[in-house]
Amino acid sequence: MTKSTFDIAVFPGDGIGVEVTPITLELVKAACEKYDVECNFTNLEAGAAYYQEHGVALPEDSMATAKASDAILLACMGMPSIRYPDGREIAPQLELRETLDLYAGVRPVKTLKGLPLPLADKRGHELDFVLIRESTEGLFASRNRFEKEGDDVAKDTQVITRKGSERLFNFAFKMGQRRKQLGYSGAVTCVDKANVLGSFFFFRQIFDQVAQNYTDVEANHIYVDAAALQLVRQPWMFDVMVTENMFGDILSDLGAGLMGGMGMAPSADIGDDHAVFQPCHGSAPDIMGQGKANPSAMFLSAAMMLDWLGDKFDNQGAVKAAQDITKAVEAAYESGEILPFEFGGTSGTQAIYDTVFAKLKQLQ
Ligand code: ATP
Ligand code: MG
């Protein structure tokens, strides 16, 4: 189906979410105008502040609107100080992931010129790879079935299913194929611990089986401990990494670190019918209300959203609008005009937006 008007459900959420969301919508609008793409945004309520006031974290009508939309753009939700009675943090984003069956967590790791980075600038390499994290099972599936034996033993159980793994690996190999067309190696690396745990041996076997249907891209494996080493030593060796839920959670923060800061890392959680686009960072209560939040991760997440919409609904304009936002963010940093607080600079949310917006206008 071809489309040029998209219904976007927007969750500003908590903390710095409400600071980075409105400017992101402005940027998306400006980028889309040039290509006659229209986005109808609907702001939806959910999160810790909403829970505190109403006793529910994700109201049913917000969920229904999100479900009926073409894509969901979410800033961040949760506050360490506001919790459910059992002590868990408020996390409606996990509920969205579960309800909408968003099994592929896409975490691009791309370094930008003009930023002081922990590794890349010292070694003369730019980083540009993608980590794909399974998001519906693995060890985190145990979240709702934790077992405690008296006061002596606590157990969580890892669940790996053939169905869950096959759809994950198919997603990863398709990503490898798409990247190969764009000039990347497209090699897909399975990250596991198959040498110790049977569930990971099973995971790896399924990976090898699925790989046989994608003989045009290279497939290889690495143990998660070795992956941690190589992500610091020579992260440029990876192109598409694919892994289990908890390993992916940990390694994607490592990836955000490689980009220099949480405010630089975008993400997407994708299923067969729905997708949520969201920066990797949380609500950052330590800097909220100070105008210091880096909105770049949110801008780049919105770009991922337009790219996904363009691909799904056969709209090259949306793909180009996505590229323009990405290019504008890159140009803003490369120009040296801005350096966010999280990098030790003095550019706040508004200054970063203004610079990125100006670069977008120059592209147009
Ligand atoms: P969550 O559990 O929701 O992932 P978290 O506990 O991992 O949250 P974050 O809210 O992501 O924590 O914050 C981690 C650190 O990164 C904090 O010091 C925060 O100020 C900083 N940080 C997060 N996002 C940004 C941003 N967009 N700009 C600048 N600093 C940020
Ligand atoms: Mg976190």
pLDDT in tens, 169-214: 999 999 999 999 999 999 999 999 999 999 999 999 999 999 999 9
Average pLDDT over residues 315-324: 98
> What separation in Å is there between the alpha carbon of 76 and the centre of ligand 1?
9
In 3-state terms the chain splits into helix, strand, coil percentages (rounded to 5) of: 45, 20, 35
> What separation in Å is there between the alpha carbon of 281 and the centre of ligand 2?
6
> What separation in Å is there between the alpha carbon of 81 and the centre of ligand 1?
14
From the CB of residue 267, how many other CB atoms can be counted at a distance below 10 Å? 25
> What separation in Å is there between the alpha carbon of 180 and the centre of ligand 2?
31
Ligand 1 binding pocket includes 62 (Cβ within 6 Å): no
Average pLDDT over residues 244-270: 95
> What separation in Å is there between the alpha carbon of 78 and the centre of ligand 2?
10
Whether the Cβ atoms of residue 360 and residue 328 lie closer than 8 Å to each other: yes
Q: What percent of the chain has pLDDT over 70?
A: 99
Ligand 1 atom nearest the C-alpha of 286 is 20
Ligand 1 binding pocket includes 47 (Cβ within 6 Å): no
Spatial separation of the C-alpha atoms in residues 231 and 223, rounded to whole Å: 12
Q: Ligand 1 atom 25: the closest Cα is on which residue?
A: 263
Average pLDDT over residues 112-120: 84
Ligand 1 atom nearest the C-alpha of 80 is 6
Per-residue confidence (pLDDT) for residue 117, from 0 to 100: 86
Per-residue confidence (pLDDT) for residue 123, from 0 to 100: 62
Find the largest Cα–Cα distance for the chain.
65
Q: Ligand 1 atom 21: the closest Cα is on which residue?
A: 284
Average pLDDT over residues 249-271: 95
pLDDT tens per residue, range 11-46: 999 999 999 999 999 999 999 999 999 999 999 999
Cβ-count burial 192-208 (b if 16+ within 10 Å, e if not): bbbeeeebbebbbebbe
> What separation in Å is there between the alpha carbon of 359 and the centre of ligand 2?
30
Average pLDDT over residues 152-157: 93
Torsion of CA 306, 308, 312, 313, to 10 degrees: 0
User: What is the DSSP code (8-state) at residue 90?
Assistant: P
> In this model, does residue 120 exceed pLDDT 70?
no
In DSSP terms, 360 is beta-bridged to none
Residue 269 burial (10 A CB sphere; 0-12, 13-18, 19+): buried
Spatial separation of the C-alpha atoms in residues 78 and 47, rounded to whole Å: 6
Q: Ligand 1 atom 16: the closest Cα is on which residue?
A: 262
Please name which ligand lies nearest the alpha carbon of 281. 1
